[in-house]
Amino acid sequence: MEFRNDYEDARRAAAYDELEFGGTYHLAFRDLPALLGDHVSGARAADFGCGTGRTARLLKSLGFDPVGLDISAEMVAVARDRDPGGDYRVIADGDFSSIPPGSRDLVLSAFTFDNIPGQDRKISLFRGLRELLAPGGKLVSIVSTPEIYLHEWVTFTTRDYPENRNAGPGDVVRIITTDYSDGRPVDDILWPDPEYRQVYREAGLEVVAYELPLARGDEEEDWRSETEVAPWAIYVLERATG
């Protein structure tokens, strides 16, 4: 399947850099410090699909020492500008050779697989990421749920894309981020929970924790769907045994 990475684009990279941890994104990051505290020992990290460095900078603030990896030179250029002392690398698709195998206590992938088409490609990338894990290391995979493409959110709108309702696993779905200055939609790939679990299994990964975070309603945010529908799924994964 021919698929364009919407993030290989300087205008999108500049817009993406406007995003922080508020709005709908709050739910992706709110529980992350506790999850990492519960499941990860050690500080050596890789941020797969680091984009403009938001998630790598978050890991740094939590005491991790992350290497950011991304296929988009445009996104990595912004990450380096924002954090000149950070380690951000442009990689070819699936090429993790710049990181020693078995060297990462944590591999984070935040929203990266939303843009990666094809079951085989996903399996092969997760296998590559698994190889980076140190003994006991964890891979944290944050992805969009199918529901994010069907509702209205503080940070996103999908109302112009009713065809998202007919999408099945592997189909393109569209969404617009309203919290940044780029009004163009992003083309994502719909990939529901059972399909993710199959990919993890085939990549030799086991799910050790799974969260679908909802807003509690007491936050200072005028939530749209966030108190009732989870926009993100968070998986904590480790090497499967046996």
Ligand X SMILES: C[S@@+](CC[C@H](N)C(=O)[O-])C[C@H]1O[C@@H](n2cnc3c(N)ncnc32)[C@H](O)[C@@H]1O
Residues that bind ligand X (CB under 6 A): 5, 7, 49-51, 54-55, 69-72, 75, 93, 110-112, 115-116
Closest to ligand X by CB, 81 or 228: 81
How far is 46 from 43, CA to CA, in rounded Å?
Answer: 10
How far is 228 from 242, CA to CA, in rounded Å?
Answer: 38
CB of 105 to ligand X, least distance (A): 18
* Single-letter residue type at 231: P
Alpha-carbon distances, residue 87 vs 39, 46, 76, 234, 241 (angstroms):
24, 10, 10, 25, 32
Closest to ligand X by CB, 93 or 228: 93
Closest to ligand X by CB, 40 or 75: 75
CB of 242 to ligand X, least distance (A): 29
CB of 19 to ligand X, least distance (A): 6
Contact 191/143 with Cβ under 8 angstroms? Answer: yes
CB of 188 to ligand X, least distance (A): 9
Cβ atoms < 10 Å from Cβ of 108: 28
Place of tokens 């992938």: 109
Show the tokens assigned to 141: 């995979």
How far is 86 from 67, CA to CA, in rounded Å?
Answer: 8
Q: End-to-end alpha-carbon separation of the chain, Å?
A: 33
CB of 133 to ligand X, least distance (A): 17
